[in-house]
Structure 1
Amino acid sequence: MVMGEMFAQLGSVAAGAVFLWAMFQQYFPHQLRPYMEKYSHNLVSFVYPYIQITVQEFTENSFRRKRSEAYAAIENYLSANSSTRAKRLKADIVKDSQSVVLSMDDHEEVTDEFHGVKLWWASNKSLPKMQTISFYPTADEKRYYRLTFHKQYRDLIVGSYLNHVIKEGKAIAVRNRQRKLYTNSPSQKWYGRKKSEWSHVAFEHPATFETLAMESKKKEEIVNDLTIFRTRKDYY
């Protein structure tokens, strides 16, 4: 009986809220609605004790649309650290097509913890309000991650946690990085910017320096030379 009365009260409250919203939409002056929305948002932000940070998949400027490095790092971090707690996952093959990496599916949420502080990561996707005909419909979708945490931990999350996530995500990307062989062979059949673009294929050659038949001293010299080149990234 108590549960039935509770659901009945909730139903009455919901119906009353819907009625008030309909009355607001119909009779409240349009000129005053922006002010009403502004103060309502301020009231909600004052009462709501949580902060949300959104990271979009792409950053756009007047020249081009570029995938956000922060988004990619967060994606790697969540794939390695939070996918075991997600109920809905996406699977992809990386690392020379020899391993499967799981990541959060769209509209999924997982929790994380940093120095005893609990946080929530959500993976979302927004669709354009107006439906358009496109050869690349996925380009119209906007994916983003949203981080939610209590406002009393603002300094810890903004100052330390986000840097930790970006650093860990980039390190994971290096470990999972697929070797690629690049070439630049423009064709007259290409058009516009693609005439000078580089293309790549996965480099899956089975030979390594360990399996290469060569004089040991000469092999060591070559490996050392390549190591020096690799560690001097800023110079080259």
Structure 2
Amino acid sequence: MAMEMWSNLGTLTATIFFLATMARKYLPRELYENFREPLRRIARFLSPYIILVIEENEGIRISDLYESVQIYLSTLSSSAAARLKLSKPQKATAFTFTMDKGQQIMDEFQGFNAWWTLRSRECKPPLFSRYNASDEKRHFELKFHKKNKARVFETYLPHVIAEAKILELKNRQRKIYTNKGGKSHSYEDRNRVWTPMVFEHPATFETLALDPEVKDDIMEDCRKFSQRESYYKKVGRAWKRGYLLYGPPGTGKSSMIAAISNFLEYDIYDLELTEVKSNTELRKLLIGTTNKSIIVIEDIDCSLDLSDRKKKAKKKSKEEQNPKKEENDNDDSRVTLSGVLNFTDGLWSCCGSEKIIIFTTNHVDRLDPALLRSGRMDKHIHLSFCTFSAFKVLARNYLGVENHPLFEKVEVLMKKAEITPADVTEELMRVSDDPTAALEKLIETLQRALETAAVKNEVSPENESVEDTLVAEGSPPVAVIGEGSSLN
């Protein structure tokens, strides 16, 4: 009896599909439109299968579930699909296979079958849109028998997500993202507000030219932040933290960011404020970031006018007496100080969790105090000129030496001279195969830095020479190497 019932049901379903095909082929379009939806409803009612649709986009973000399905199916594609898309990420050891549009993969799980299909549809742009190209909307379809509905939701889909996480961690490459400017005409560019690149910066805290005490303090702060999810939730605060890195150019602010990223294993979102046209777009970029990430705004004092409002008010009162139009390098951007403040500590800042926001600047005194307060920039890190302890790290990294007879002279000079770690690195790299020659060249550079500083301070070098400084410190005079001396 049951077999006969299913046989009759199959015949009825086939008849309905046949009638629908004939109606579409021979009936006038207007008449067919009246019958199409009722026929679809009948077919769905009679079909023993359920189809779930998983869209690629959730608003302006890529769906986490869509990406999980894509990762999971990559392990099945090479053996189950007839048409594949082949790729090989940079420095990856194996090829990656993904489904092509219209392909179907059958996955057998705990005694039942599930069918996955990648679909796409073209969506025409609005009549007055600035984009000429059509959008391509992609989605996965999951088809399974109705009797397996509970098992799919309770067991199968959690299995897909769990397996995707394992595969992602196994093959994960840290990435750096940028918000691109200009008009884009491709589907992916217009639907992804961030463009990723593989991030392989070698900087670590071990190689960072920084005083050990400061280095340990930053590492402990990062470690504590990453482990305090329950604490942030208990006190009612968004799980985020703000760092301000400030100091002269060449003191290692970018290397510090890379070291934090490698230490925490977080992705980096490098936000170029001059490319953001409005506060609304700024919020979209914030929403588009993932958890466990670092949002970086470098040289914030140069990106937008975020200077102290009190100072601007005084300046404006003087200019009212002698009005003069100032040039604005960011006429196309309407991002305001208020928008940046809300970005860092407003209602939208709680979208997502476990995020670090890092601002860098060479002139911290130019920034508005509201931007620097706790809750926005929780920790201020001053990266100053190179100290002797930082120099020893560079000497170990670039010259492979832990100690050297010339270290004493370098230490004495560094107490007086102002030189950045970048300048020290440049000198050490010139003759890295000869530590003595490299250190002598560095000493020469330090001497010139002292003499330059003496001139700026209107102190004659004859009154306080480099040799006098060394003798006063209890060290023998330094043998000055002439400009024409060979480094080889």
TM-score greater than 0.5 by the shorter chain: yes
Paired amino acid for 2:41: N
Are 2:213 and 1:204 aligned? no
Q: Point out the more displaced range, 39-48 or 126-135.
A: 126-135
* Matching of residues 64-83 of structure 1 within 5 Å: 65-83=60-78
8 Å contact from structure 2 (residues 68, 164) kept in 1: yes
In 2: Cα distance, 1:22 partner to 1:203 partner? 53
For residues 62-211 of structure 1, what are the structure 2 equivalents within 5 Å? 65-94=60-89, 97-99=91-93, 100-128=95-123, 137=133, 140-181=135-176, 202-206=198-202
Which deviates more, 112-121 or 76-85?
Answer: 76-85
Within 1, Cα distance between the matches of 2:21 and 2:138? 34
Give 3-state SS (helix, strand or coil) of 1:167's partner: helix
Q: Which amino acid aligns with 1:110?
A: I
Matched, 1:53 2:36: no
Alpha-carbon offset, residue 84 of structure 1: 2.6
Greater gyration radius: 2
Q: Could you give the per-residue CA deviations for residues 113-136 of structure 1, whole angstroms, max 9, x where no partner exists?
A: 111111111112212267989758
Deviations 1:21-80 (A, max 9, x none): 268633x985x954x4443223212321111111111123xxxx2211111110001012
SS at 2:113's partner residue?
A: strand
**2-structure distance, mates of 1:39, 1:18:** 10
**Secondary structure of the residue that 1:141 maps to in structure 2?**
strand
- Structure 2's unaligned 5+ residue stretches are 1-14, 184-192, 208-212, 233-238, 240-488
Aligned residues of 2:20 and 2:36 also touching (Cα < 8 A): no
Task: Decide whether aligned partners of structure 1 residues 175 and 222 sit closer, same or farther in structure 2, where only a CA change above 3 A counts.
Answer: farther
Give the counterpart letter for 1:203 in structure 2.
F
Provide the C-alpha distance between the structure 1 equivalents of 2:132 and 2:67, rounded to a whole number of angstroms: 21
1:41 maps to: 40
Give per-residue Cα distances to partners, 1:127-164, cap 9 Å, x unaligned.
Answer: 22679897584x70011111111111111112221122
The answer (yes or no) to whether the contact 1:82–1:112 under 8 Å persists in 2 is: no
User: CA 1:232–1:113 in structure 2 vs 1: closer, same or farther (change >3 Å)?
Assistant: farther
Under a length normalisation based on structure 2, what TM-score does the superposition of the two structures give? 0.34
Q: Aligned partners of 1:50, 1:203: CA distance in 2, in Å?
A: 44
| Deviation (angstroms), 1:20 | 4.8
- Cα distance in 2 for partners of 1:39, 1:177 equals 48
Output the amino acid matched with 2:200. Answer: E
Higher-RCO chain (CA-CA 8 Å, sequence separation at least 6): 1
Give 1:215-230 correspondences, 5 Å limit.
Answer: 229-230=225-226
What is the CA–CA distance in structure 1 between the aligned matches of 2:37 and 2:21, rounded to whole Å?
22
Distance 1:50 1:230 in 2: 45
Residues 77-98 of structure 1, C-alpha deviation per residue, up to 9 Å, x if partnerless?
A: 101244332221112333x532
C-alpha distance in 1 between matches for 2:204 and 2:96: 25
Q: What is the CA–CA distance in structure 1 between the aligned matches of 2:124 and 2:172, rounded to whole Å? A: 36
SS of the aligned residue for 2:123 comes to coil
Aligned to 1:106, the other structure's residue is in SS state coil
2:54 maps to amino acid: V
TM-score w.r.t. length of structure 1:
0.63
SS at match of 1:204: coil
Between Structure 1 and Structure 2, the one with more strand by share is 1
Percent of paired sites with the same residue: 31
Counterparts of 2:106 and 2:124, CA distance in 1:
30
Taking structure 1 as reference, are residues 232 and 171 closer, same or farther at Cα in structure 2, changes over 3 Å only?
A: farther
Structure 1 residue 167 displacement after superposition = 2.5
The equivalent of 2:23 in structure 1 is 21
Distance 1:203 1:83, change over 3 A: same
